[in-house]
């Protein structure tokens, strides 16, 4: 491994630690003052029973939106740096971009793809709530659509990303 590659791996590990840390802080704050239903065995029964309880899906979408937003932003910061290597150190750029072909990096890219897709579709859903004046029920319908699109496109994209590994 070259120095440029080692530095990239360290920086990427830093990004992952920051993302996990952000998730931990977010979940702690939500548990303290989020005011949502607790995740317990009884929750599934309550979700089936009451449409008011199912409004909780909007809350979880909010947390997922924040988490994916931070994850995409954190990686983007690193990505801007590794792309900009091309302008002053093309050799280092080539070395670093070899890493993107590693299996572990491809798995990370699949996760990133899911995060980008969810953040995008959920963001559009929030815009649609304002533009179309949607209530809780309709927004949950849109959320279902956002999740389905995320899963379908994410799986399709992941297949493309992982294809060279299995070739």
Partner 1 sequence: MTEPSSKKIRVTVSRSDPGTERTFLVERIEPMMVLDLLIAIQREHDPSIGFRYSCRVAMCGTCTLRMDGRAILACQTPLEPDRDKVRLDPLAGLPVVRDLVVDMKPFFEEWARVKPYLEPVEGLDEPARIRPDSPERQIIDPSLDCITCGACYSSCGIADHKRDFLGPAALNRAMLLIADSRDAAGAERLDAVTASDGVDRCHYIYGCSAVCPKGLDPAAAIRRLRRWRLEGRPR
Give the nearest distance from C-beta 137 to partner 1 in angstroms.
Answer: 9
Using rule CB under 8 A, residue 26 touches partner 1: no
Vertex 130: Cα angle to 129 and 136 (nearest 5): 35
Residue from 42, 91, 141, 156 binding partner 1 (CB under 8 A)? 42
Residues in 63-102 that interact with partner 1 by CB under 8 A: 65
Using rule CB under 8 A, residue 55 touches partner 1: yes
Q: What DSSP string runs through 122-146?
A: HHHHHHHHHHHT--HHHHHHHHHHH
Alpha helices in 35-135 (DSSP H): 41-49, 51-54, 56-88, 90-99, 103-132
The piece of 16-24, 26-34, 89-97, 148-156 that touches partner 1 (CB under 8 A) is: 26-34
Q: Show the tokens assigned to 75.
A: 């990686």
Q: Of 147, 140, 141, which Cα lies nearest the Cα of 56?
A: 140
3 phi and psi, to 5 degrees?
-60, -45
Burial of residue 57, with CB atoms counted within 10 A of its CB: 0-12 exposed, 13-18 middle, 19 or more buried: middle
Using rule CB under 8 A, residue 59 touches partner 1: yes
Residue from 3, 32, 88, 166 binding partner 1 (CB under 8 A)? 32
Q: Of 77, 98, 104, which Cα lies nearest the Cα of 4?
A: 98
The piece of 9-17, 85-93, 94-102, 122-130 that touches partner 1 (CB under 8 A) is: 122-130
Residue from 48, 133, 166, 167 binding partner 1 (CB under 8 A)? 133
How many residues form the binding site for partner 1 (CB under 8 A)?
27
Using rule CB under 8 A, residue 111 touches partner 1: no
Using rule CB under 8 A, residue 139 touches partner 1: yes
List of residues contacting partner 1 (CB under 8 A):
30, 32-38, 40, 42-43, 46, 52-53, 55-56, 58-59, 62, 65, 126, 129-130, 133, 135-136, 139
């Amino acid at each position: 491994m070259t120095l440029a590659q080692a530095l990239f791996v360290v920086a990427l590990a830093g990004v992952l630690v920051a993302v996990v840390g952000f998730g931990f802080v977010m979940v702690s704050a939500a548990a303290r003052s989020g005011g949502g239903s607790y995740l317990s065995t009884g929750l599934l029964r309550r979700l089936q029973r009451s449409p008011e309880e199912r409004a909780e899906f909007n809350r979880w979408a909010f947390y997922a939106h924040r988490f994916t937003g931070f994850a995409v932003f954190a990686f983007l910061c690193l990505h801007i740096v590794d792309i900009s290597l091309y302008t002053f150190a093309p050799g280092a750029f080539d070395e670093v971009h070899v890493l993107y072909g590693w299996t572990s990096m491809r798995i990370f890219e699949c996760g990133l793809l899911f995060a980008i897709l969810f953040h995008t579709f959920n963001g559009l859903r929030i815009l649609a709530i304002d533009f179309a004046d949607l209530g809780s029920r309709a927004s949950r319908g849109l959320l279902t659509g956002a999740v389905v699109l995320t899963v379908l496109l994410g799986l399709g994209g992941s297949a493309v990303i992982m294809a060279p590994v299995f070739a």
